[in-house]
Amino acid sequence: MKIRGAGRIARAAVKALEDYGDSLEVSGGRDFVERVREAGEYLKGARPTAVSLPNAINYVVLNLEKEAKGVEDVASLKAALKKYCESFVERSESAVEKIGLLGARLIEDGDTILTHCNSEAAISVILTAHRQQKNIKVFCTETRPKGQGYLTSSKLAKNGVDVTLIVDSAVNFFIKKVDQVVVGADAIYVNGAVVNKIGTSQVALVANQAKSRFMVAAESYKIAPKTFVGELIPIEERSPEEVVSGEWAQENKEVKIRNPSFDVTPPKYIDSIVTEVGIFPPEGIILLYRETYGLS
């Protein structure tokens, strides 16, 4: 949890892969590629729900494998690995900026926005609208149990946004004042369902009942390819000690504690998914998936 946010996790993973590759001392190209591939598989296991991580690793490793065919010079392969790692990081950072510009189009002057967790892309949308001189107000949920909302509200406030921090359970109390919810995503199903921080699906349900618009801001590399054939995205569960103290758990051993980190928001509760390549209704994500992977 030292690195939070799917985009940040993906960039950290490819930078780690680059550092690892640079440190390798092997005799030939085949050994180099195999060691990098093994390291990539190890990194993929760090955060099972954040699809951006395996997608980032796959982008780097697959491109390296293509370039490595018939090449045994390790120095040239290290340079290729560095190139693809830096390419992904640049693409990822650029995507956040583009999402901000596109998403801000959907923010109207005078809107009150609610955001959940700590998403680079969602923050980019809100800050871009603010810099465009749109008069906006923002509610940030605490996002228990790790309190990512403290990070979000602090960043928005330091950039001059009118922001109010609320407890997660107060969303329904404030939702009638909210014109639009803006959240990020850790993964996107091909059918337009979105995996995001636990509590997002409840926020979406409440927003739907209140007729508040619901925007997901996410990079296109967060689409999970395996969901095209019906595979489910695993939901990570974290330590009970994020919820209660170890002392309390020992004193109440009969109490079971569950701490899922993410949930799935159905596409019917989502109005728009804003990516760096365009704004899509949830049903349109299948088109982006087909274009990305060259499927007819």
What's the DSSP call for residue 234?
Answer: P
Query: Rounded CA gap, 210 and 290, in Å?
Result: 34
User: What is the predicted pLDDT for the residue at 70?
Assistant: 79
Please write the tens of the pLDDT for every residue from 227-283: 987 889 999 999 999 999 999 999 999 999 999 999 999 999 999 999 999 999 999
Q: Of 230, 141, 152, 243, whose CA–CA distance to 193 is shortest?
A: 230
- Alpha-carbon distance 59 to 87, whole Å? 10
How far apart CA 6 and CA 3 sit, in angstroms, is 9
Spot the catalytic one: 85, 111, 140, 186: 186
Whether 188 contacts 222, CB under 8 Å: yes
The crossing angle, in degrees rounded to 10, of helices 74-104 and 29-44 is 40
Question: Which is the catalytic residue, given 85, 111, 117, 140?
Answer: 117
Active site residue 168: no
More confident residue, 151 or 51: 151
CA torsion 204-144-113-122 (nearest 10°) is -90
Domains assigned to the chain: 6-97 (1.20.120.420), 101-292 (3.40.50.10470)
Helix H or strand E segment including 264: strand 262-265
Question: Quick check: bond before 281 cis, omega within 30?
Answer: no
Measured in whole angstroms, the distance separating CA 86 from the mean position of its chain's CA atoms is 19
Q: Which of 113, 55, 50, 120 is nearest to 262 (CA)?
A: 50
Q: Is 117 a catalytic residue?
A: yes
Residue whose pair of structure tokens reads 């059918």 in the numeric block: 191
C-alpha span between 51 and 72 (Å, rounded): 32
Q: Mean pLDDT in the chain?
A: 93
The 10s digit of each residue's pLDDT in 219-235 is 999 999 889 878 899 99
The answer, yes or no, to whether residue 174 has pLDDT greater than 50, is yes
| Banded model confidence at residue 296, pLDDT cuts 50, 70, 90 | very low
**Taking residues 21-29, what's their average pLDDT?**
90
Query: Which of 44 and 181 is assigned the larger pLDDT?
Result: 181
Residue 295 reports pLDDT greater than 80: no
Task: Give me the residues paired with residue 194 across strands.
Answer: 188, 265
